Amino acid sequence: MQIRELKIPDSYEITPKQFGDDRGVFLEWFRADHLEQAIGRRFPIAQSNTSVSKRGVVRGIHFADIAPSQAKYVTATRGAVLDFVIDIRVGSPTYGQWDSVLLDDVDRRAIFISEGLGHCFVALSDDATVSYLVSAPFNAEREHGINPLDPAIALEFPAEAGTPLLSPKDEVAPGLEEAAAAGLLPTWEQAKAFYATLGGVG
């Protein structure tokens, strides 16, 4: 597999090598050793999730308090989504910026999003099925959201997604600067200090 860091530090695109024949396709969609070598630290897996979304559904922007927050390794097993990573770490050199990766059942890419980063995706097809490996169990009291339509962030949704469909919770989530003013956002220093506690890899 090929792993490249995105323009948001501590987020990565993973492109697996696929082996196809007349029976179908085989691939390794996750390799802890390869990922941890690329990111330079451990990625403990504590929970796995699956979501199914119709075209236009937007999930996010979501994040969790550090520590432990949640690192995420995300792929699409059916259909297609455009997956976004948003730097919400106050003090980061890329604070307020984002990058994206197309996740689909053709190239079968994945995205790794470190703790303290914001995560969002928009479904580009009906029954878009997304699977996540996450580093900590869900804890509702430590989960937060930012409105994905916040013009200060300006996520760009493809025309093929149609009209964005948000949950009631995401519709009323604060914008980035409102969340910062309320003290909800992690800092660059907090994130980096937490990553250091996860240990290096040989």
**97-125: per-residue pLDDT in tens?**
999 999 999 999 999 999 999 999 999 99
Establish if 6 belongs to a structural domain. yes
Q: Residue 200's pLDDT is what? A: 74
Number of domains into which the chain is organized? 1
Establish if 140 belongs to a structural domain. yes
Establish if 44 belongs to a structural domain. yes
Please say whether the beta carbons of 191 and 115 come within 8 A. yes
Q: What is the token pair recorded at 147?
A: 């409105």
**Is 62 an active-site residue?**
yes
CA angle at residue 15 from 145 to 125, to 5 degrees?
A: 55
**Is 34 an active-site residue?**
no
pTM of the model: 0.95
Establish if 202 belongs to a structural domain. no
Establish if 103 belongs to a structural domain. yes
Which domain range does residue 54 map to?
2-197
Residue range 4-34, pLDDT digits in tens: 999 999 999 999 999 999 999 999 999 999 9
> 26: domain CATH number?
2.60.120.10
Q: Which of 62, 73, 119, 144 is catalytic?
A: 62
Q: Which of 12, 132, 144, 195 is catalytic?
A: 132
Establish if 64 belongs to a structural domain. yes
Establish if 123 belongs to a structural domain. yes
Residue 135: alpha-carbon gap to chain centroid? 12
